[in-house]
Amino acid sequence: MKLALKVTEVETLSPLVKRFRFEDPTGAELPVFSGGAHITVEMPEGDIIRRNSYSLISDPYDGSAYEIAVRREDQGRGGSLYMHTKVSEGDEITVSTPSNLFQLDLRARKHVLIGGGIGITPFLSQLKQLDMEQKPYELHYAARTRDEAAGLKLLPEAAHIHVHISDEGARMDIGAILDGQPLGTHVYTCGPEGLIEAVADQAARLNWPETAVHSEAFTAPPPGEPFDVVVKSTGQSITVKADQSLLEALEEAKVKVEYSCRGGACGRCQTKVTTCDGRILHNDHWLSEDERGAQQDIMPCMSRFKGTRLELDL
Amino acid sequence: MTMHFNDETFRGDYTYHNSPEAIRRFPFPFDQDSYMYSVNIEQHPGGPKGTPFEFKFDVDEHYVAEMKDREITLAEDPLRCQSLPHMELAGWDLLELIMVSKARDYPDLFTLHRDGNDWHWINKPLGIEKKFTFLDPTTLPCGPMEYITRQTQGDFALLHERDGNLWMDAGMVTSQADWSLDFDVGMNFFEWHAPVPKARKMGVFDKALKFLLAVGQGQHYRRLNWTMTVNPRLDTSPENYHKWGPEKRTITPENVGQKQFLRVELQTFFRLPRSNALAFPIRCYLANLEDLAIVPKWGRRLHRVLRDIDPDLADYKGFAVNQETIVTYLSQFDDGAPTSPGIFPDA
């Protein structure tokens, strides 16, 4: 479902990060949501519509507005640049209803939230939910420099909120954070791949159950070299441009593919590959190692192709 | 809109009955003359005016009597309503969904005033008026799920999503087709469906789970399921099998038309906003063969479906023992004429 909203605030949080606030133009209440949820924002440019998903950072039980924080990726496909350069207060903007691939497990006795860089965003709504639910938690926010740490302006000052700035010699010590946590603690990580792996490794070393370790890595699709794709049912050949995802190219060619997160995490757009003369560049977090190796499935929202012929069962 | 509520029972003397309007709006589950499992999912709500598909939560002439029957079942066995500690938020989500929907769809029967978290709920058919604070459980006489489902027809399961699966971590179950919440609570999607024959091999559950996990906020769906029950009994639970199981043996060629009921479940799915849980209401509708055959299309079709059904399914749905009597009775309504597609009566 889609919502036609209005941009009511744009704030620069750091040289690279802006905060956006969206409200219903008639003042109607928006659907409330759960901590860790995201929305997909439509960015129309000429004939094409780019869609990126962003974590909601506002109060999940407050229907008066949705807020997101967007980091400018100069090497990206242009979605974040669009948000930074083309969107201003008063503009109309179309977003999806919230959905959640990174929800809190409310069974936990305690929640440990670890955010690196822009990966702080999903925790901003989660900590509001944890406050309202009166659940014990601690949050760790790691950034390289204080200047880069856009999240500082959005975090409350509290004893259980810890900021680790590596340039100031306060590098985050994951082992120290996880060691000695009470039984029944769940840990959630969002940020660079390396951080997610480091937390998972450390948790495994400390014998945490796998089901108590959660992460969200979904990011915008990476650009790459252009390639061609063939639609099996029609024989149509479509070129995927360097700054376009395969999903976006299919949509531009009016080929219908189901999607939700557009970040390789939800599994919704999984598509069968009928011919693959070459190598699929899997960039998703959905397919297993075996599935990646088999090259019989692709996640068009994230993944690309290098080779002579890629044909999809569409 | 005014609504008449039947004075009737679902146990003992079994005075349950359907008015001519209730028969005509019955959610007949067969859209063709044969039956096999399918993931027969449609958007909800949505359907012709007056049908049980028109609103999110259908309220009909059996409302007050069904709520009385639930009260009796709960008093005898409080474990029919259970909510694991992490599911309270989902209970509030469900309470909001039902109160908001009913107040909008049945303004003559239900009223909801909201001022922030100060809520004022009026349920006229049950004579309830309550002021409470939303999300504050100390302001209700019981948990939010129990509170609202004591006022809403149908069983309810609240499913918690984690580890790529759904877990039945809360529910109110008093009108079930032979399954037990107390047994299933805490199970995942595959575990609680384990007794269903054939379907796992057919891949039905993998597809269904994938679909359910993808249900988003604001997208609601429904499907119909069915079974057969002797006597109009809501509580056909494993716990009380000794009470209703033997009744299956009371069917004779003379009484089958009145005593044998088609039991239809209108199952709906809602993604709940604050908890990200899935609500799974299962509403039960009962009509006996005699009443169903008043609609000529249904008489013909029911005969063909029950005559030709896979023996494993006849067994699972609990009517194999009476199948011959049922089919012989229904044959009088089947002149061999073709039936129109879809579930609704011919105009």
Q: Is B131 on the interface with A (CB under 8 A)?
A: no
Q: What is the ipTM of this complex?
A: 0.88
- A33, A58, A107, A297: best to mutate for the B interface, most B CBs within 10 A: A107
Rounded to whole angstroms, the Cα distance separating B133 from B129 reads 14
Tokens of B9: 């029972």
Position B247 in a domain: no
Within 10 Å of residue B48's Cβ, how many Cβ atoms?
9
Answer yes or no: are the C-beta atoms of B279 and B93 closer than 8 Å. Answer: yes
- Sequence-distant (6+) residues with CB within 8 A of A165 are A142, A143, A144, A145, A146, A149
Helices (H), A74-210: 79-86, 121-133, 174-178, 193-205
Which CATH code for domain A227-312? Answer: 3.10.20.30
Q: Is B38 on the interface with A (CB under 8 A)?
A: no
B260-272 pLDDT tens trace: 999 999 999 999 9
For residue B331, the Cα-to-chain-centroid distance in whole angstroms is 28
Q: How far is B277 from chain A (nearest CA, A)?
A: 10
Tokens of B141: 């006489």
Contacts of B100 in chain A (CB under 8 A): none
Rounded to whole angstroms, the Cα distance separating B262 from B26 reads 10
Position B124 in a domain: yes
Query: Is A127 in a helix, a strand, or coil?
Result: helix
Q: How far is B70 from chain A (nearest CA, A)?
A: 29
| B1 pLDDT more than 60 | no
Q: Is B219 on the interface with A (CB under 8 A)?
A: yes
Q: Which CATH number fits domain A2-96: 1.10.10.60, 3.10.310.40, 3.40.430.10, 2.40.30.10?
A: 2.40.30.10
Give the Å distances, CA to CA, from A199 to A171, A188, A210: 14, 9, 12
Place B194 in a pLDDT band, splitting at 50, 70 and 90.
confident
Q: Is A28 on the interface with B (CB under 8 A)?
A: no
Query: Is A31 in contact with B161 (Cβ distance < 8 A)?
Result: no
Task: Find the closest chain A residue to B186 by CA distance.
Answer: A107
- Sequence-distant (6+) residues with CB within 8 A of A35 are A60, A103, A104, A122, A125, A126, A127, A128, A129, A130
pLDDT at B39: 65
pLDDT at A104: 96
Position B54 in a domain: yes
Tokens of A45: 């440019």
Return mean pLDDT, chain B: 94
Answer yes or no: are the C-beta atoms of A114 and A174 closer than 8 Å. Answer: yes
Q: How far is A107 from chain B (nearest CA, A)?
A: 5
The secondary structure of chain B, three-state, reads CCCCCCCCCCCCCCCCCCCHHHHHCCCCCCCCCCCCCCCCCEECCCCCCCCCCCCCCCCCCCHHHHHHHHHHHHHHCHHHEEECHHHHHHHHHHHHHHHHHHHHHCCCCEEEEEECCEEEEEECCCCEEEEEECCCHHHCCCCHHHHHHCCCCCEEEEEEEECCEEEEEEEECCCCECCCHHHHCCCEHHHHCCCCCCCCCCCHHHHHHHHHHCCCCCCCEEEEEEEEEECCCCCECCCCHHHHHHHHHHCCCCCHHHHEEEEEEEEEEEECCCCCCEEEEEEEEEEEHHHHCCCHHHHHHHHHHHHHCCHHHHHHCCCHHHHHHHHHHHHCCCCCCCCCCCCCCCC
Q: Is A223 on the interface with B (CB under 8 A)?
A: no
Rounded to whole angstroms, the Cα distance separating B302 from B287 reads 12
Beta-carbon contacts below 8 Å between A and B: 50
- DSSP code string of A249-290: HHHHTT-----SSSSSSS-TT-EEEEEEEEEEE---SSS-HH
Give the Å distances, CA to CA, from B304 to A64, B23, B263, B298, B327: 55, 20, 17, 10, 8
Task: Find the closest chain A residue to B134 by CA distance.
Answer: A61
Tokens of B50: 């007056």
Instruction: Check whether the bond before B45 is cis (ω within 30° of 0).
Output: yes
pLDDT at A218: 61
Position B74 in a domain: yes
Position B61 in a domain: yes
Residue B25: active-site member = no
Contacts of B214 in chain A (CB under 8 A): 260, 266, 268
Place B214 in a pLDDT band, splitting at 50, 70 and 90.
confident
Residues in chain A with pLDDT values less than 50: none
Q: Does domain A110-216 have CATH number 3.30.43.10?
A: no
Position B340 in a domain: no
Position B344 in a domain: no
Answer yes or no: are the C-beta atoms of A124 and A151 closer than 8 Å. Answer: yes
Q: What would the mean pLDDT of B191-219 be, rounded to a whole number?
A: 82
Domain count, chain B: 1
Q: Phi/psi at A218 (nearest 5 deg)?
A: -70, 135
pLDDT at B206: 81
- Sequence-distant (6+) residues with CB within 8 A of A302 are A221, A222, A245, A263, A264, A282, A283, A284
B44-102 pLDDT tens trace: 999 999 999 999 999 999 999 999 999 999 999 999 999 999 999 999 999 999 999 99
Contacts of A288 in chain B (CB under 8 A): none
Q: Phi/psi at A85 (nearest 5 deg)?
A: -110, -25
Query: Is B217 in contact with A107 (Cβ distance < 8 A)?
Result: no
Task: List the domain boundaries for chain A.
Answer: 2-96, 110-216, 227-312
Q: Is A2 on the interface with B (CB under 8 A)?
A: no
B100-156 pLDDT tens trace: 999 999 999 999 999 999 999 999 999 999 999 999 999 999 999 999 999 999 999
pLDDT at B316: 86
Domain extent for B274: 37-238+265-286
Catalytic residue selected from B24, B114, B223, B307: B223
Q: What would the mean pLDDT of B25-41 be, rounded to a whole number?
A: 88
- Smallest CA-to-CA distance from B171 within B282, B261, B263 is with B282
Query: Is B214 in contact with A32 (Cβ distance < 8 A)?
Result: no
Tokens of B62: 């059996």
Considering only CB atoms, B274 lies closest to which of A61, A107, A267, namely A61
For residue B154, the Cα-to-chain-centroid distance in whole angstroms is 5
- B162, B163, B219, B276: best to mutate for the A interface, most A CBs within 10 A: B276
Buried b vs exposed e over B182-192: b needs ≥16 C-beta within 10 Å?
bebbebbbeeb
Tokens of B266: 């209108």
| B254 pLDDT more than 90 | yes
- Smallest CA-to-CA distance from B148 within B186, B112, B181, B179 is with B112
B153-182 pLDDT tens trace: 999 999 999 998 999 999 999 999 889 999
Considering only CB atoms, B218 lies closest to which of A60, A97, A103, namely A97
Task: Find the closest chain A residue to B160 by CA distance.
Answer: A105
